[in-house]
Structure 1
Amino acid sequence: MNKLAKVQNNGSLVNNDRRTDFSTWSSWIDNLFNNDLPVLTMSNFNTGMTLPKVNIWETADSFYVDMAIPGMKKEDFSIDLDNQILSISSEKSVEHEENQKHYTRREFGYESFKRTFNLPESVEETKIEASYKNGILNIQLPKKEEAKRKPPRTISIS
């Protein structure tokens, strides 16, 4: 069987024989959505909504979730805990009016996001704290006493 190949601008070869790309039904479906329908799968469904960047880190006593969300107020956030699922969301509508000499221009906007995190059982749910300062939402998730790392110790031999 003769295989067709195309040379891209960067010099790499691309296989044009699509029959070799679909060894199984699932790979054919993946290829269909990833390569053949980019207009549908890459459309602007999220227009007006962005997900904030998140840093998650751990110390011996706690887990931390830091989210970069500038331009908000602490009242704009909702933080909920339900069955060890932490949900952080925000909804904010923006209205701006500009008066010119002959007309008035009004702009409306709406921003929202929701992030959820599955918490480990080692989190002490009653002691979770959150703060918002300089555009960073910080959530501290203290560990239960039995889950905290113990300091190393030397065991003597008898």
Structure 2
Amino acid sequence: MTLVKFANGHKRNGLSPLFTDAFESFFNDSFVSDRFTAKVPAVNIAETENHYHIELAAPGLKKEDFKINLEKNMLSISAENKSAAAGETKKYNRREYSYSTFVRSFTLPETVDHANIEAQYTDGILSVNVAKKEEARQVTREITIK
């Protein structure tokens, strides 16, 4: 006996349910979806009055593995984990975290101070602080009502 799923309310565009379900199950399979998704760390970007803050989650790496470059207004963060690639003797049944090499690039606005960019790697989080130019900082003041 075969169980056939039918999605109520979804248009199938004229394809038979078996044909559509075959493609859905193929692309939702973890073996296939792992190959199609980018293996890059997640990033949080925040803005304060004086800085832009970029936090990149990359556990298992060392600060020596990272390379941060600035070319014009493009900030590139890359990493290569040489120790994981060389001499691997384990046979994995499933391997979900494999940030052996990656590159993340960010276009910075014209308002950043290129000379004042700092980075720190602590507890698996790479934090990059990009300072804003003095004229780009928001001036706040209270306006009195006459």
TM-score (structure 1 length as normaliser): 0.65
> Within 1, Cα distance between the matches of 2:58 and 2:49?
27
> Aligned residue pairs: how many?
124
User: What letter is aligned with 1:129?
Assistant: E
Which residue of structure 2 lines up, in the alignment, with residue 102 of structure 1?
A: none
The one of the two structures with greater contact order (alpha-carbon pairs below 8 A, sep at least 6) is 2
Query: How far is the alpha carbon of 1:154 from its aligned partner?
Result: 2.2
| Structure 2: segments with no counterpart, 5+ residues | 16-22, 92-97
What's the CA shift string for 1:29-86, capped at 9, x where partnerless? xxxxx98x959x957256xx72101000000001000011111111100000011000
CA, structure 1 residues 130+8, in 2 after alignment: closer, same or farther (shift >3 Å)?
same
Which residue of structure 2 lines up, in the alignment, with residue 149 of structure 1?
A: 138
Q: Percent identity?
A: 35
- Match of 1:124, SS state, is strand
2:11 to 15, 21, 27: 15
RMSD (Å), alpha carbons:
3.3
CA, structure 1 residues 128+18, in 2 after alignment: closer, same or farther (shift >3 Å)?
same
- Match of 1:146, SS state, is helix
User: What letter is aligned with 1:126?
Assistant: A
Matched, 1:135 2:124: yes
User: What letter is aligned with 1:51?
Assistant: V
1:113 to 102, 107, 131: 102
| Structure 1: segments with no counterpart, 5+ residues | 1-6, 20-33, 98-105
CA, structure 1 residues 143+43, in 2 after alignment: closer, same or farther (shift >3 Å)?
closer
What's the CA shift string for 1:97-154, capped at 9, x where partnerless? 7xxxxxxxx3598811100000000000000010101111000010000000112232
> Within 2, Cα distance between the matches of 1:17 and 1:135?
46
The structure with the larger Rg is 1
Query: How far is the alpha carbon of 1:14 from its aligned partner?
Result: 3.6
More strand by share: 1
1:44 to 14, 20, 35: 35
TM-score (structure 2 length as normaliser): 0.69
